[in-house]
Protein backbone atom coordinates (compact mmCIF):
# COMPACT_ATOMS: atom_id res chain seq x y z
CA UNK A 1 0.00 0.00 0.00
CA UNK A 2 1.59 3.21 -1.12
CA UNK A 3 1.19 6.70 0.27
CA UNK A 4 -1.83 8.17 -1.56
CA UNK A 5 -1.57 11.22 -3.79
CA UNK A 6 -1.20 14.53 -1.99
CA UNK A 7 -0.89 13.01 1.47
CA UNK A 8 2.65 14.30 2.00
CA UNK A 9 3.18 18.09 2.25
CA UNK A 10 4.98 19.53 -0.82
CA UNK A 11 8.26 19.98 1.05
CA UNK A 12 8.33 16.35 2.21
CA UNK A 13 7.30 15.11 -1.22
CA UNK A 14 10.14 17.07 -2.83
CA UNK A 15 12.68 15.91 -0.26
CA UNK A 16 11.85 12.21 -0.74
CA UNK A 17 11.92 12.65 -4.50
CA UNK A 18 15.38 14.16 -4.21
CA UNK A 19 16.45 11.28 -1.96
CA UNK A 20 15.18 8.58 -4.31
CA UNK A 21 16.29 10.17 -7.60
CA UNK A 22 20.04 9.37 -7.42
CA UNK A 23 19.30 5.71 -6.70
CA UNK A 24 16.96 5.47 -9.68
CA UNK A 25 19.40 7.26 -12.01
CA UNK A 26 22.23 5.01 -10.85
CA UNK A 27 19.87 2.07 -11.35
CA UNK A 28 19.13 3.03 -14.95
CA UNK A 29 22.87 3.10 -15.62
CA UNK A 30 23.55 -0.30 -14.07
CA UNK A 31 20.52 -1.70 -15.87
CA UNK A 32 21.81 -0.57 -19.28
CA UNK A 33 25.29 -1.83 -18.39
CA UNK A 34 23.93 -5.24 -17.42
CA UNK A 35 21.83 -5.52 -20.58
CA UNK A 36 24.72 -4.44 -22.80
CA UNK A 37 27.17 -6.81 -21.19
CA UNK A 38 24.76 -9.68 -21.33
CA UNK A 39 21.81 -9.31 -23.73
CA UNK A 40 20.49 -12.72 -22.68
CA UNK A 41 19.81 -11.32 -19.22
CA UNK A 42 17.01 -9.20 -20.66
CA UNK A 43 14.62 -12.11 -20.36
CA UNK A 44 15.33 -12.64 -16.67
CA UNK A 45 15.27 -8.91 -15.93
CA UNK A 46 11.87 -8.75 -17.59
CA UNK A 47 10.71 -11.66 -15.48
CA UNK A 48 11.94 -9.98 -12.27
CA UNK A 49 10.11 -6.77 -13.17
CA UNK A 50 6.97 -8.67 -14.11
CA UNK A 51 7.14 -10.56 -10.82
CA UNK A 52 7.09 -7.21 -9.00
CA UNK A 53 4.18 -6.17 -11.22
CA UNK A 54 2.11 -9.22 -10.37
CA UNK A 55 2.74 -9.22 -6.64
CA UNK A 56 2.09 -5.51 -6.14
CA UNK A 57 -1.29 -5.87 -7.88
CA UNK A 58 -2.57 -8.52 -5.49
CA UNK A 59 -4.31 -7.15 -2.42
CA UNK A 60 -4.38 -9.86 0.19
CA UNK A 61 -6.46 -9.89 3.38
CA UNK A 62 -4.43 -9.85 6.56
CA UNK A 63 -5.05 -11.08 10.11
CA UNK A 64 -5.58 -7.46 11.24
CA UNK A 65 -8.82 -7.22 9.26
CA UNK A 66 -7.23 -4.91 6.73
CA UNK A 67 -5.59 -5.77 3.45
CA UNK A 68 -2.39 -4.85 1.69
CA UNK A 69 -0.25 -6.12 -1.13
CA UNK A 70 3.26 -7.60 -1.34
CA UNK A 71 6.03 -5.49 -2.85
CA UNK A 72 7.67 -8.14 -5.01
CA UNK A 73 11.14 -6.56 -5.03
CA UNK A 74 12.89 -9.51 -3.37
CA UNK A 75 13.41 -11.58 -6.51
CA UNK A 76 14.97 -8.83 -8.64
CA UNK A 77 17.20 -7.62 -5.81
CA UNK A 78 18.59 -11.09 -5.23
CA UNK A 79 19.10 -11.80 -8.95
CA UNK A 80 20.33 -8.45 -10.24
CA UNK A 81 21.25 -6.45 -7.12
CA UNK A 82 19.29 -3.49 -5.74
CA UNK A 83 20.12 -0.77 -8.34
CA UNK A 84 18.36 -2.66 -11.13
CA UNK A 85 15.37 -3.26 -8.88
CA UNK A 86 15.20 0.47 -8.09
CA UNK A 87 14.29 1.03 -11.74
CA UNK A 88 11.85 -1.87 -12.02
CA UNK A 89 10.12 -0.93 -8.76
CA UNK A 90 9.78 2.71 -9.80
CA UNK A 91 8.25 1.69 -13.12
CA UNK A 92 5.67 -0.38 -11.26
CA UNK A 93 4.90 2.54 -8.93
CA UNK A 94 4.54 4.89 -11.89
CA UNK A 95 2.12 2.52 -13.61
CA UNK A 96 -0.01 2.30 -10.47
CA UNK A 97 0.07 6.05 -9.88
CA UNK A 98 -0.88 6.95 -13.44
CA UNK A 99 -3.45 4.29 -14.27
CA UNK A 100 -4.79 2.89 -11.03
CA UNK A 101 -4.92 6.00 -8.81
CA UNK A 102 -2.88 3.92 -6.35
CA UNK A 103 -0.06 5.88 -4.81
CA UNK A 104 0.54 9.14 -6.63
CA UNK A 105 2.87 11.34 -8.61
CA UNK A 106 3.56 13.75 -5.75
CA UNK A 107 4.30 10.81 -3.46
CA UNK A 108 6.16 8.82 -6.12
CA UNK A 109 9.54 9.80 -4.68
CA UNK A 110 8.59 8.76 -1.16
CA UNK A 111 7.07 5.48 -2.36
CA UNK A 112 10.06 4.79 -4.59
CA UNK A 113 12.40 5.41 -1.68
CA UNK A 114 10.62 2.86 0.50
CA UNK A 115 9.72 0.22 -2.10
CA UNK A 116 12.42 0.57 -4.74
CA UNK A 117 15.43 1.69 -2.67
CA UNK A 118 15.14 0.53 0.95
CA UNK A 119 13.19 -2.66 0.16
CA UNK A 120 15.72 -3.99 -2.37
CA UNK A 121 18.75 -3.12 -0.22
CA UNK A 122 17.18 -4.78 2.82
CA UNK A 123 16.44 -7.83 0.65
CA UNK A 124 19.98 -7.98 -0.69
CA UNK A 125 21.55 -7.57 2.75
CA UNK A 126 19.31 -10.25 4.25
CA UNK A 127 20.06 -12.58 1.34
CA UNK A 128 23.85 -12.23 1.69
CA UNK A 129 23.67 -12.58 5.46
CA UNK A 130 21.55 -15.74 5.45
CA UNK A 131 23.60 -17.25 2.64
CA UNK A 132 26.75 -16.76 4.68
CA UNK A 133 25.16 -18.11 7.86
CA UNK A 134 23.75 -21.20 6.15
CA UNK A 135 26.76 -21.95 3.96
CA UNK A 136 27.10 -25.40 5.54
CA UNK A 137 23.54 -26.44 4.79
CA UNK A 138 22.65 -28.15 1.50
CA UNK A 139 22.66 -25.64 -1.35
CA UNK A 140 18.91 -25.81 -2.05
CA UNK A 141 17.97 -25.33 1.61
CA UNK A 142 20.38 -22.45 2.07
CA UNK A 143 19.11 -20.72 -1.06
CA UNK A 144 15.45 -21.12 -0.08
CA UNK A 145 16.04 -19.80 3.45
CA UNK A 146 17.99 -16.82 2.14
CA UNK A 147 15.39 -15.97 -0.51
CA UNK A 148 12.55 -16.24 1.99
CA UNK A 149 14.30 -13.96 4.47
CA UNK A 150 15.15 -11.49 1.70
CA UNK A 151 11.58 -11.16 0.42
CA UNK A 152 10.09 -11.15 3.93
CA UNK A 153 12.34 -8.38 5.21
CA UNK A 154 11.96 -6.32 2.03
CA UNK A 155 8.20 -6.40 2.45
CA UNK A 156 8.33 -5.38 6.11
CA UNK A 157 11.18 -2.92 5.60
CA UNK A 158 9.29 -1.11 2.87
CA UNK A 159 6.29 -0.49 5.07
CA UNK A 160 8.35 0.46 8.08
CA UNK A 161 9.84 3.23 5.96
CA UNK A 162 6.36 4.20 4.74
CA UNK A 163 5.22 4.51 8.36
CA UNK A 164 8.27 6.63 9.17
CA UNK A 165 7.62 8.89 6.18
CA UNK A 166 4.04 9.50 7.30
CA UNK A 167 5.10 10.03 10.92
CA UNK A 168 7.63 12.68 9.87
CA UNK A 169 5.01 14.49 7.80
CA UNK A 170 2.12 14.15 10.22
CA UNK A 171 3.41 13.70 13.76
CA UNK A 172 1.12 12.94 16.66
CA UNK A 173 0.20 16.20 18.49
CA UNK A 174 0.90 14.39 21.79
CA UNK A 175 3.31 11.56 21.03
CA UNK A 176 5.34 13.42 18.43
CA UNK A 177 7.04 11.65 15.54
CA UNK A 178 7.68 8.48 17.54
CA UNK A 179 4.10 8.24 18.75
CA UNK A 180 2.80 8.75 15.24
CA UNK A 181 5.29 6.20 13.90
CA UNK A 182 3.89 3.61 16.31
CA UNK A 183 0.38 4.34 15.05
CA UNK A 184 1.23 4.22 11.35
CA UNK A 185 3.35 1.13 11.85
CA UNK A 186 0.36 -0.56 13.51
CA UNK A 187 -1.62 0.08 10.34
CA UNK A 188 1.05 -0.67 7.76
CA UNK A 189 3.69 -2.96 9.21
CA UNK A 190 1.46 -5.19 11.34
CA UNK A 191 -0.93 -5.66 8.42
CA UNK A 192 2.09 -6.59 6.37
CA UNK A 193 3.45 -9.41 8.56
CA UNK A 194 1.33 -12.30 7.18
CA UNK A 195 1.57 -10.81 3.71
CA UNK A 196 5.35 -10.70 4.01
CA UNK A 197 5.30 -14.42 4.86
CA UNK A 198 3.20 -15.08 1.75
CA UNK A 199 5.56 -12.95 -0.30
CA UNK A 200 8.56 -14.87 1.05
CA UNK A 201 7.02 -18.22 0.12
CA UNK A 202 5.99 -17.08 -3.36
CA UNK A 203 9.48 -15.72 -4.02
CA UNK A 204 10.99 -19.04 -2.93
CA UNK A 205 8.68 -20.80 -5.41
CA UNK A 206 9.83 -18.42 -8.16
CA UNK A 207 13.49 -19.11 -7.42
CA UNK A 208 12.85 -22.86 -7.33
CA UNK A 209 11.24 -22.67 -10.77
CA UNK A 210 14.17 -20.63 -12.07
CA UNK A 211 16.60 -23.15 -10.60
CA UNK A 212 14.80 -25.88 -12.54
CA UNK A 213 14.68 -24.16 -15.90
CA UNK A 214 17.55 -21.68 -15.82
CA UNK A 215 20.28 -22.94 -13.52
CA UNK A 216 23.04 -21.62 -15.75
CA UNK A 217 21.94 -18.01 -15.42
CA UNK A 218 21.54 -18.28 -11.66
CA UNK A 219 25.09 -19.60 -11.37
CA UNK A 220 26.37 -16.83 -13.63
CA UNK A 221 24.59 -14.20 -11.52
CA UNK A 222 26.20 -15.62 -8.41
CA UNK A 223 22.88 -16.54 -6.83
CA UNK A 224 23.51 -20.27 -7.01
CA UNK A 225 26.87 -21.83 -6.27
CA UNK A 226 28.13 -23.98 -9.12
CA UNK A 227 27.16 -27.58 -8.51
CA UNK A 228 30.03 -29.99 -7.86
CA UNK A 229 30.94 -32.22 -10.81
CA UNK A 230 28.07 -34.68 -11.28
CA UNK A 231 28.80 -38.09 -9.79
CA UNK A 232 27.82 -40.97 -12.11
CA UNK A 233 25.92 -42.75 -9.29
CA UNK A 234 23.40 -39.92 -9.10
CA UNK A 235 22.39 -40.25 -12.74
CA UNK A 236 19.42 -42.63 -12.23
CA UNK A 237 18.14 -40.40 -9.47
CA UNK A 238 18.26 -37.35 -11.69
CA UNK A 239 16.36 -39.23 -14.35
CA UNK A 240 13.67 -39.95 -11.78
CA UNK A 241 13.54 -36.27 -10.91
CA UNK A 242 12.99 -35.41 -14.52
CA UNK A 243 10.03 -37.74 -14.64
CA UNK A 244 8.65 -36.06 -11.56
CA UNK A 245 8.32 -32.90 -13.58
CA UNK A 246 11.48 -31.05 -12.63
CA UNK A 247 13.85 -30.02 -15.36
CA UNK A 248 17.40 -31.16 -15.24
CA UNK A 249 20.76 -29.59 -15.72
CA UNK A 250 22.21 -29.75 -19.17
CA UNK A 251 25.52 -30.83 -17.72
CA UNK A 252 24.20 -34.07 -16.26
CA UNK A 253 22.43 -34.95 -19.50
CA UNK A 254 25.56 -34.34 -21.53
CA UNK A 255 27.51 -36.56 -19.19
CA UNK A 256 25.10 -39.42 -19.73
CA UNK A 257 25.51 -39.22 -23.45
CA UNK A 258 29.27 -39.31 -23.28
CA UNK A 259 29.15 -42.37 -21.10
CA UNK A 260 26.72 -44.16 -23.39
CA UNK A 261 28.48 -43.29 -26.61
Partner 1 sequence: MSDRSTPRAWVTWALLAAVAVLAVLPLATGAGEGMEEPFSGADGQAESLVGELNPDYEPWMAPLVELPSGEVESGLFALQAAIGAGVVGYALGVARTRSRPGDRAAPGPGAPSAGPEASDAPGGPRDR
224 counts as binding partner 1 under rule CB under 8 A: yes
At 184, give phi and psi (nearest 5°): -65, -40
Binds partner 1 by CB under 8 A, chosen from 21, 35, 134, 139: 139
DSSP β-bridge partners for residue 5: none
**Cβ-count burial 182-199 (b if 16+ within 10 Å, e if not):** ebbbebbbbbbeebbbbb
Nearer of residues 105 and 129 to partner 1, judged by Cβ: 105
Q: Give the shortest CB-17-to-partner 1 separation in angstroms.
A: 13
Q: Give the shortest CB-73-to-partner 1 separation in angstroms.
A: 13
Q: What is the DSSP letter of 232?
A: G
- Among 50, 4, 39, which residue's Cα sits nearest to residue 210? 50
Q: Which residues does 36 contact at the CB level (< 8 Å), separation at least 6?
A: none
Q: How far is 209 from 147, CA to CA, in rounded Å?
A: 13
Q: Which stretch binds partner 1 (CB under 8 A): 25-33, 115-123, 124-132, 215-223?
A: 215-223
At 120, give phi and psi (nearest 5°): -60, -40
Contacts with partner 1, 166-195, as mask; x by CB under 8 A: x---xxxx------x--xx--xx--xx-x-
Binds partner 1 by CB under 8 A, chosen from 30, 38, 62, 134: 62
232 counts as binding partner 1 under rule CB under 8 A: no
Binds partner 1 by CB under 8 A, chosen from 78, 130, 202, 221: 202
Q: How far is 179 from 181, CA to CA, in rounded Å?
A: 5
228 counts as binding partner 1 under rule CB under 8 A: yes
246 counts as binding partner 1 under rule CB under 8 A: yes
Torsion (CA) 97, 100, 102, 104 in degrees, nearest 10: 20
Nearer of residues 125 and 253 to partner 1, judged by Cβ: 253
By CB under 8 A, how many residues form the interface with partner 1?
102
- Among 184, 188, 132, 106, which residue's Cα sits nearest to residue 155? 188
Q: Give the shortest CB-157-to-partner 1 separation in angstroms.
A: 16
28 counts as binding partner 1 under rule CB under 8 A: no
12 counts as binding partner 1 under rule CB under 8 A: no
Amino acid sequence: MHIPEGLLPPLHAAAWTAAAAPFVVHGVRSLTREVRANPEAKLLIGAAGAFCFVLSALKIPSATGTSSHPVGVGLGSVLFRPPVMAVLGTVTLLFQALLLAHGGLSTLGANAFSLAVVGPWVAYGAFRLVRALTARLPEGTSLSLAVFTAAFSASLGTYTVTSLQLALAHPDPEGGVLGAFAKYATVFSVTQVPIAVIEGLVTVVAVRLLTSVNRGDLVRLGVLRPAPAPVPETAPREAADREAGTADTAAAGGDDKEKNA
